[in-house]
Amino acid sequence: MSKNILKHRLQDSRITGVGSALIDFLIHETDDFLVKLGKQKGGMTLVSDSDIEAILKKIAEQNRDNKPVVVPGGATCNTIIGVGKLGGEACFIGKRGNDYYGDFYEDNLKKSNVYPLFHTSATPTGKVLSIITPDAQRSMFTCLGASTELEPESITPEMFNNTGIALMEGYLLFNPDLMMACLKSAKGADSMIALDLARFEVVEASRDILNDIVNEYVDILIANEDEARAYTGFSDELTALEALGENVIIAVLKVGERGSYISYKNSAANSVTDINLDKGTSKVIRVYAKSREAVKDTTGAGDLWAAGFLYGIANGYSIEKSGEIASACGYEVCQVVGAQIPEHGWQRIRSLL
């Protein structure tokens, strides 16, 4: 069935994500420490697994009490864990190392109510070391490890069985064959497809295939201001939102501490279960962010926003209510360091349900 004549009624509430399985190491350090490493503050540097181990060893040598927070990470994983914590049915597809950190990653997914579908490798599990300086800036050292070895032929429609929404992270665009295998398998299982554009650099590097992918496969498109500008060419927010939503069912434009705009094609109903691309014109909803007076760290804010929104959509909440849940998730993750909301935060979010 062509997407342009789709009247999609979600039969399943499961959200299945495909992405990079990366262990996050989060640690506070001084500006001087970065200088000694020869690292300019901010941004991301690709390194080897042994480089990360060496940096952690240096940190431990100068202060044994300064130990990193270690949690499962990666953009899609952050979102899928959020879905699981909300009580949703969640699944994560990726590739990990056959090592301690791979076991740690998988165990933590299970504890978060996420069903893991992993392939394993002799290559170490991917890692991201985030050094947080006193000004709250993050300087990241990344070893992608086994996460880059997920092969197109290993992705099958059966992996998306009973999946209402399949979430693809934009970083998959760097591996077009893998992205296409995921898209075709998800559509083969009759899942709606959500794409989070991830970073404006991803958009700029994928122009030759991105438009066709969105037009043919994507039902829910999520972008922030920079990503939307890179994709549409428009700086005006509402104009960019209109362009984002031209060939999808739902388009989301996140505007940081000002909240988000959500565009959806719907003639009358206010739930995704009655959305039809051929009926009516796009409606736009403004969702305001909660107060951000005490932001500690914005790591994972977009990922957790997506968790709340997709959970709401998959479970039959209205577009407005899904946006409200998303906003609450984004707020709570900004109150802690890293992308893991503590249980008392989840309790506040669940009270909205």
Parallel, antiparallel or unpaired: strands 14-18 and 114-121: unpaired
pTM (2 d.p.): 0.88
61 lies in some domain? no
- Would 213 be classed as within a structural domain? yes
Residue 215 lies in a domain: yes
Number of domains in the chain: 1
pLDDT of residue 108: 95
**Considering the domain boundaries, does residue 235 fall inside one?**
yes
Residue ranges making up the domain that contains 226: 3-22+73-125+145-350
Give the tens place of pLDDT for each residue, 274-296. Answer: 444 444 467 899 988 776 566 77
Q: What are the beta bridge partners of residue 163?
A: 14
Q: Cα–Cα distances in Å, from 18 out to 216, 259, 335?
A: 19, 26, 27
Distance CA 218, CA 40 (A): 37
Is 151 part of any domain? yes
Mapped onto helix, strand or coil, the DSSP state of residue 331 is helix
Q: For residue 43, tell me if it sits in a domain.
A: no
Residue 307 within any structural domain of the chain: yes
4 DSSP assignment: G
Q: How confident is the model at residue 271 (pLDDT cuts 50, 70, 90)?
A: very low
- Beta 90-97 vs 114-121: how paired, if at all? parallel
Ranges of beta strands (E only) in the chain are 14-18, 22-28, 44-46, 69-73, 90-97, 114-121, 126-132, 138-143, 163-169, 192-196, 220-224, 250-254, 260-265, 282-287
In a domain, 130, yes or no: no
Let me know: does 90 contact 34? Beta carbons within 8 Å. no
141: β partners: 45, 129
pLDDT of residue 79: 97
Tens of pLDDT, residue by residue over 219-243, are 999 999 999 999 999 999 999 999 9
The CATH code of the domain that includes 120 is 3.40.1190.20
Question: Which pLDDT score, from 0 to 100, does residue 270 have?
Answer: 45
Residues 42, 29, 105: CA angle, nearest 5 degrees: 80
